[in-house]
Structure 1
Amino acid sequence: MGKIVISETVSLDGVFQDPVGAGGFRFAGWFDQLTDADRQAWAKAGFEEAMGAEALLMGRRTYEWLVARGWASRDGDWPDRLRALPKYVVSSTLEDLTWANSTVLEGDVMKLKQQVDGEIVVYGSGRLVQSLIERDIFDELRLIVCPFALGEGERPVERRKPLRLTDSRIIGDSLVSLTYRP
């Protein structure tokens, strides 16, 4: 049986909204505050996570954003790995998926968990993530915490949700990776 792993980069106060400046949020582009060394360490952690994944799950907006940014055709180990992974997109409007190995998810996420052995990693996908957490349809929440607070914005966990810390580590000079389970 598969394991749903939500993987998000958040600010110190838990905001995951618009880290790269694509959505009009007042503090959009906050990820750019990281040093080059921390961005490289973040990318290394992301690649390692992708190497351990068996599939990706994402919402329509994240899928379209990744395709528009060239992830479907970029060169390199990380894009190659993402291209090779099966990608399941939650959408009621998308029909023509151009990224290799992409499928509109038909049915619910619980059926996907039964079909895939191993980690099904969810990147971005704000609405989907909030729904998965609210409905307890996740097995692990991985957060890479950036060393600055924004003061407002959307968070992956919007309501009281008991979680148990199962791992923590430092990434780069100032990032912290936290892993929680329900």
Structure 2
Amino acid sequence: MGNIVISQNVSLDGVVEDPTGESGFEHGGWFDRFMTADDRPAWAAIEFAEAQSAKALLLGRRSDNYFGSRWNDATGDWADRLRALPKYVVSSTLKNPVWVNSTVLSGDVGDDVSRLKDEIDGDIVVYASRELVQTLLARDLVDELRLIVFPVVLGSGKRLFGGTFDPKALRLLDAKPVGGNLSYVAYAVVRED
């Protein structure tokens, strides 16, 4: 049975919008601005380990374009691992995904993701894809949240957790510093039996 794992970089107030500053958001670019030189290797080690243990990636259309355009031609062990992973892109409009080794899921999100969870044994990691994350949370398909929290309160911007779902009980799995400035927290979603 597969586990849907949300893996996100977030500000302390939950903003995930425009971390690289390429979209024109007034507070964009927070990823590099608030990551120190000591933080980056520790952050990369966590992300690489997660990629090594993942069995598949699940993305929205914009995230497929963003990651595919950067990782398709990148070199190194991390890039090789990401290219090798099967990727599933949720989109009702996309015909040809950008990232190699990708399949488009164009049906009902709940049905498609439930089928993936039945077919894949292990972690199905969701990178970025804020709208997809909110849909998965609303449909109670998320099993785990892994957040790397950046030490900034942006005050505005698109947040990972919108008001589109009922409260979710979580159980702390892990918490630790990342480098000298970031924090990693992981939570399991608690389901009522």
**Range into which the TM-score falls when normalised by the shorter chain:** over 0.9
**Secondary structure of the corresponding residue to residue 36 of structure 1:** coil
Aligned-residue sequence identity (percent) comes to 55
Whether the 8 Å CA contact 2:7–2:147 is kept in 1: the answer is yes
Deviation at 1:40, TM superposition (A): 2.2
Q: What's the counterpart of residue 162 of structure 1?
A: 169
Cα distance between partner residues in 2 of 1:135 and 1:12: 25
Cα distance between partner residues in 1 of 2:169 and 2:87: 29
Q: Tell me, which stretches of 5 or more residues in structure 2 are unaligned?
A: none
Q: What's the counterpart of residue 180 of structure 1?
A: 187
Q: What's the counterpart of residue 56 of structure 2?
A: 55
My pick for the range that moved more, 115-124 or 154-163, is: 154-163
Q: What's the counterpart of residue 30 of structure 1?
A: 30
Deviation at 1:168, TM superposition (A): 0.8
Partner letter of residue 14 of structure 1? G
Q: How does 1:140-155 map to 2 (within 5 A)?
A: 140-155=144-159
Partner letter of residue 26 of structure 2? R
Cα distance between partner residues in 1 of 2:72 and 2:138: 30
User: How far does the alpha carbon of each residue in 1:121-148 deviate from its partner, in whole angstroms, 9 at most, with x for none?
Assistant: 0000111011111221100011001111
Deviation at 1:106, TM superposition (A): 4.8
Deviation at 1:98, TM superposition (A): 4.3
Structure 1 stretches (4+) deviating beyond 4 angstroms? none
Deviation at 1:163, TM superposition (A): 2.0
Q: Does 1:5 pair with 2:5?
A: yes
Cα distance between partner residues in 2 of 1:126 and 1:157: 8
Cα distance between partner residues in 2 of 1:98 and 1:174: 33
Q: Does 1:88 pair with 2:92?
A: no
Cα distance between partner residues in 2 of 1:149 and 1:161: 23
TM-score by length of 2: 0.89
Partner letter of residue 52 of structure 2? M
Partner letter of residue 89 of structure 1? V
Cα distance between partner residues in 2 of 1:89 and 1:78: 20
User: How far does the alpha carbon of each residue in 1:73-124 deviate from its partner, in whole angstroms, 9 at most, with x for none?
Assistant: 1101111100000000001121123432111125421011111110000000
My pick for the range that moved more, 148-157 or 91-100, is: 91-100
Q: Does 1:139 pair with 2:143?
A: yes
Q: How does 1:40-119 map to 2 (within 5 A)?
A: 40-68=41-69, 70-107=70-107, 108-119=112-123
Aligned CA distance change for structure 1 residues 117 and 176 (closer, same or farther; 3 Å):
same
**Secondary structure of the corresponding residue to residue 14 of structure 2:** coil
Cα distance between partner residues in 1 of 2:52 and 2:151: 26
Tell me the C-alpha RMSD between the 2 structures: 1.3
Cα distance between partner residues in 1 of 2:98 and 2:10: 29
Equivalent pairs counted in the alignment come to 181
